[in-house]
């Protein structure tokens, strides 16, 4: 059965106190909305993102990055039920499943959504809502069940009685709908509640009243639906995501010397027996091979491909570069827009000067197999150091260096004998 998704992202995000729309805030260089769109990319054929506040920026982001997603404007924003109703014209003749998610819950995983949809299918469900348990359920909609345990309705915090507020099972804000049976609900919801909004949560009762098959799927790890409303939540979500990534990497055979000071994005692959030393920060999409040593205090900024047996040492920053096997970048260097061959040695303090501020262009540095770059060298890109060439320390390299040549731009050493003694 075909699946389409609707991602709600029109809300204001007031508590972020930001000029940037909430869903475009980033974790490891990827937007919150990007995480949600990625979580459905292998499950759905088409995705709709409901936009409202800062609509133009969010529309541009979706258009530039996600060919399988369309934006739909919701203006004004009259609630989550109203938001979903915006896709009704686009899905008028659609009969498959619709997965509804929120653009501000970036930690949801594809695997979980897969299980959720399977659960929906296996129960022959018409409406399935994802729920989870919180010790402190404040602010979430509460899942209210009948005495036989079946679903009754969802009550929002602001509409809840004291008894309902005590319920710890909450609505995760993720739904799977049999669209053909549910779509007519969206013209029948009312805004008769404490917030005067059209609540998506009312579809539970709507379905029950029509004897539809309505179910909940209880998510064990409530961190997966952790929502971002403030910068505090953003930091906490980054921590949760990081713990998940590091646990997975360690399980797969990567040594993380200090998980408390190491930050690695979920788009980073790392091979077995690689050691990540403390205070290393790896963001964006990267691939690191086997038996590498990364850090301490290394910064990989995305687009980095590192082969096996490579060392990226302390205070080394690498961006959008390829480093082949058995190469060392030991200390205090910047490698950007570069390609390094095998058995290359990069001396301490080497900089690839990749950015031309006049033309605002990025240029490439190529260092071929077995080349050795002396300490404190600046390689002014575009530039190539051919196979086996050496560059003397403190050189500024503005021309290509031929294979097996030595390039030097250093001023000769002057020694003035007894100079010190003559000063007194």
Of 74 and 384, nearer to ligand UD1 (C-beta) is 74
Q: Considering the complex, what minimum distance in angstroms separates the CB of residue 330 from Mg ion?
A: 47
Q: Is 79 in the site for ligand UD1 (CB under 6 A)?
A: yes
List the one residue from 4, 25, 82, 120 that touches ligand UD1 (CB under 6 A). 82
Q: Considering the complex, what minimum distance in angstroms separates the CB of residue 140 from ligand UD1?
A: 4
Q: Is 171 in the site for ligand UD1 (CB under 6 A)?
A: yes
Of 106 and 313, nearer to Mg ion (C-beta) is 106
Q: Is 21 in the site for ligand UD1 (CB under 6 A)?
A: no
In the residue annotation, 119 being an active-site residue is answered as no
Number of residues that bind Mg ion (CB under 5 A): 1
Of 203 and 300, nearer to ligand UD1 (C-beta) is 203
Q: Is 330 in the site for ligand UD1 (CB under 6 A)?
A: no
- Find the binding residues for Mg ion in span 202-241 (CB under 5 A): 227
Write the CB contacts of 218 (distance below 8 Å, at least 6 apart in sequence). Answer: 131, 132, 133, 169
Q: Is 131 in the site for ligand UD1 (CB under 6 A)?
A: no
List the one residue from 96, 227, 284, 382 that touches ligand UD1 (CB under 6 A). 227
Contact 8, 48 (CB under 8 A): no
Cα gap 68→352, rounded to integer Å: 37
DSSP letters spanning 118-177? HHHHHTT-SEEEEEEE-SS-TTSPEEEE-TTS-EEEEE-GGG--HHHHT--EEEEEEEEE
Cα gap 396→306, rounded to integer Å: 26
DSSP letters spanning 80-95? HHHHHHTTTTTTTT--
Structure tokens at 188: 């029948």
Side-chain half-sphere of 281: how many Cα atoms within 13 Å?
12
Of 102 and 300, nearer to ligand UD1 (C-beta) is 102
Q: Is 8 in the site for ligand UD1 (CB under 6 A)?
A: yes
Query: Which does residue 112 touch among ligand UD1, Mg ion, none (CB within 5 to 8 A, set by kind)?
Result: none
Which CA distances in Å does 320 have to 212, 284, 306, 371? Answer: 52, 10, 11, 20
Q: Is 102 in the site for ligand UD1 (CB under 6 A)?
A: yes
Write the CB contacts of 361 (distance below 8 Å, at least 6 apart in sequence). Answer: 355
Q: Considering the complex, what minimum distance in angstroms separates the CB of residue 66 from ligand UD1?
A: 17
3-class DSSP state for residue 377?
coil
Crossing angle of helices 55-65 and 32-40, rounded to 10°: 40
Residues in contact with ligand UD1 by CB under 6 A are: 8-11, 50, 52, 74, 77-80, 82-83, 102-104, 140-141, 154, 156, 170-171, 173, 199-201, 227
- Catalytic residue positions? 331
Residues in contact with Mg ion by CB under 5 A are: 227
């Amino acid at each position: 059965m075909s699946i389409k998704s609707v991602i709600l992202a029109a809300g204001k995000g007031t508590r972020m106190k930001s000029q940037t729309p909430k869903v475009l805030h980033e974790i490891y260089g990827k937007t919150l909305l990007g995480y949600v769109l990625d979580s459905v990319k292998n499950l759905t054929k088409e995705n709709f993102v409901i936009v409202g506040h800062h609509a133009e920026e969010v529309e541009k982001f979706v258009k530039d990055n996600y060919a399988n997603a369309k934006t739909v404007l919701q203006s004004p924003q009259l609630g989550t039920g109203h938001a979903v109703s915006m896709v009704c014209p686009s899905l008028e003749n659609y009969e498959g499943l619709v997965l509804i998610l929120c653009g501000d819950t970036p930690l949801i995983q594809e695997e979980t959504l897969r299980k959720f949809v399977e659960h929906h299918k296996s129960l022959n469900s018409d409406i399935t809502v994802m729920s989870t348990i919180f010790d402190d359920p404040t602010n979430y909609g509460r899942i209210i069940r009948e005495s036989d345990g079946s679903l009754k309705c969802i009550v929002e915090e602001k509409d809840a009685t004291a008894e309902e507020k005590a319920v710890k099972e909450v609505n995760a804000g993720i739904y799977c709908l049999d669209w053909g049976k549910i779509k007519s609900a969206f013209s029948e919801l009312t805004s008769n509640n404490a917030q005067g909004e059209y609540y998506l949560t009312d579809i539970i009762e709507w379905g029950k009243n029509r004897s539809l098959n309505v179910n909940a799927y209880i998510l064990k790890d409530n961190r997966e639906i952790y929502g971002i409303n403030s910068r505090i939540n953003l930091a906490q979500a980054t921590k949760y995501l990081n713990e998940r990534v590091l646990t997975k990497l360690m399980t797969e055979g990567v040594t993380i010397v200090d998980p408390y000071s190491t930050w690695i994005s979920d788009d980073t692959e790392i091979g077995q027996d690689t050691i990540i030393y403390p205070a290393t920060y790896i963001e964006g999409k990267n691939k690191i091979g086997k038996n590498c040593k990364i850090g301490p205090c290394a910064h990989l900024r995305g687009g980095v491909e590192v082969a096996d047996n490579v060392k990226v040492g302390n205070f080394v920053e690498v961006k959008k570069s390829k480093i082949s096997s058995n190469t060392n970048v030991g200390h205090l260097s910047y490698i950007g827009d570069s390609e390094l061959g095998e058995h290359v040695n990069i001396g301490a303090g080497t900089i690839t000067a990749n950015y031309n501020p006049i033309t605002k262009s990025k240029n490439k540095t190529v260092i071929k197999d077995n080349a050795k770059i002396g300490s404190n060298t600046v390689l002014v890109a575009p530039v190539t150091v051919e196979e086996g060439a050496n560059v003397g320390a403190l050189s500024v390299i503005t021309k290509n260096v031929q294979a097996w040549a030595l390039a030097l731009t250093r001023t000769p050493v002057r020694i003035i004998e007894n100079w010190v003694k003559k000063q007194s």
